[in-house]
Amino acid sequence: VTAKSIEDLPTPAVVVDLDVLERNIRSMAERALESGVRLRPHAKTHKVLEVGRKQLAAGAPGLTLAKTGEAEIFAAAGFTDLFLAYPIVGEEKARRLLALSDRCDIAVGVDSIDGALSLDRAFRAASRRLGVLLEIDCGLQRTGVLPSEALSVAARIGELPGLRLCGVFTHAGQAYLAENAQAAAAVARTEGDAAVQVAERLREAGHAIGEVSVGSTPTAREGMRVAGVTECRPGTYVYNDASQVSIGSCSPEDCALTIIATVVSVPARDRAVLDAGSKTLSSDPLWPKPGGHGFLVGRVSRIARLNEEHGVIAVAPGESFRVGERVAVLPNHACIVSNLHDQIHAARQGRIEEVWTVAARGAVT
């Protein structure tokens, strides 16, 4: 791409505003420092090495990822401290983790004996120990053991010579249903308290629980303040998105990532169509309540429906669009947009400074 300005980019294109990005990184890092917790940003949001490096430069000791394939890409690029906040399972993954542990500090999530056993075999055979954090379900009802089951599962994991149970972690994704920032903060306190209490009980039973890791973007700033929390893992804060605005965890001015699209059809007064559909914006809904497929910056009209290459705008009364016009879209969910695109255009005041490869895009295994 030879475009020097956002105005010259072929559309659709993903643009990140560097001033906003750097402010977001700095602001969360400062909050972590004030709160006395380590910030371990979830790099799933960007999957970009350059952004990860900015997060480390701002004070993060390492990054969070979900999948082994993502860790392989970041480790190959020189990142040396990674946590996979995900229940990694199976001997194929265990062998890859073993290879990764040669080049970086890597720890992973675990939430079952069967999963733990499948990791233990590979590390035990190599006379090594893999650091694992026990996932605690603090109300999301996704993965993780209930607080009431943590002690019995930890006891079994503690017996495995290939593993080292070094912490607990939670993810309060239910905060995405919060109606406002106050409600999200309440979720954060409940999450933090639950994680700290479980950690205390595990310590009383003799486990060396060093890490009490919590976090998501809506809960991060409050969760960091809970006494006993040692680490926080927000991801989306780096870019923010329409859902974060709707939940109340940021303002529109805090959103760094937009999609530049072109109006390709205006077939009726109340309808205009963008060259950005679900292949560009994804079909992910707006949180906490459905409300179209992204915000049109500076417009009241909403993107009412999507097909793969079509974003159909329901034109609001008093607004109009013309064929060829360019618009900026604030997507519902920034993380999934990153996963759809090979390149991100990093711009400052409209000028493109860098083009980043989304290095860990599609690394799902």
Residues that bind its own copies (CB under 8 A): 10-13, 44, 66-67, 86-90, 92-93, 111-112, 114-115, 118, 137, 141-146, 173, 262-268, 271, 273, 275-276, 278-280, 282-285, 307-310, 312, 322-324, 335-336, 339-342, 362, 364-365
Our CB check for its own copies shows the closer of 87 and 167 to be 87
Q: What's the residue count for the chain?
A: 365
Peptide bond into 161 cis (omega under 30): no
Our CB check for its own copies shows the closer of 247 and 335 to be 335
The distance of closest approach from Cβ of residue 30 to its own copies in the complex, given in angstroms and rounded to an integer, is 27
Our CB check for its own copies shows the closer of 67 and 225 to be 67
**Which tokens in the block code for residue 194?**
């639950």
Q: Whose CA is closest to 364, among 47, 40, 66, 48?
A: 66
- The gap between the terminal CA atoms of the chain, to the nearest Å, is 30
**Which tokens in the block code for residue 285?**
């809904």
The distance of closest approach from Cβ of residue 34 to its own copies in the complex, given in angstroms and rounded to an integer, is 30
Q: Whose CA is closest to 168, among 190, 151, 188?
A: 151
Interacting residues of 182 by C-beta distance below 8 A, sequence separation 6+: none
Our CB check for its own copies shows the closer of 12 and 35 to be 12
The SS3 assignment for 108 reads strand
Q: Whose CA is closest to 257, among 282, 277, 237, 283?
A: 237
Our CB check for its own copies shows the closer of 41 and 173 to be 173
The distance of closest approach from Cβ of residue 120 to its own copies in the complex, given in angstroms and rounded to an integer, is 13
The distance of closest approach from Cβ of residue 87 to its own copies in the complex, given in angstroms and rounded to an integer, is 5
Our CB check for its own copies shows the closer of 58 and 281 to be 281
CA 79 to chain CA centroid, Å, is 17
The distance of closest approach from Cβ of residue 88 to its own copies in the complex, given in angstroms and rounded to an integer, is 8
Peptide bond into 252 cis (omega under 30): no
The distance of closest approach from Cβ of residue 110 to its own copies in the complex, given in angstroms and rounded to an integer, is 10
Q: Whose CA is closest to 328, among 356, 307, 299, 348?
A: 299
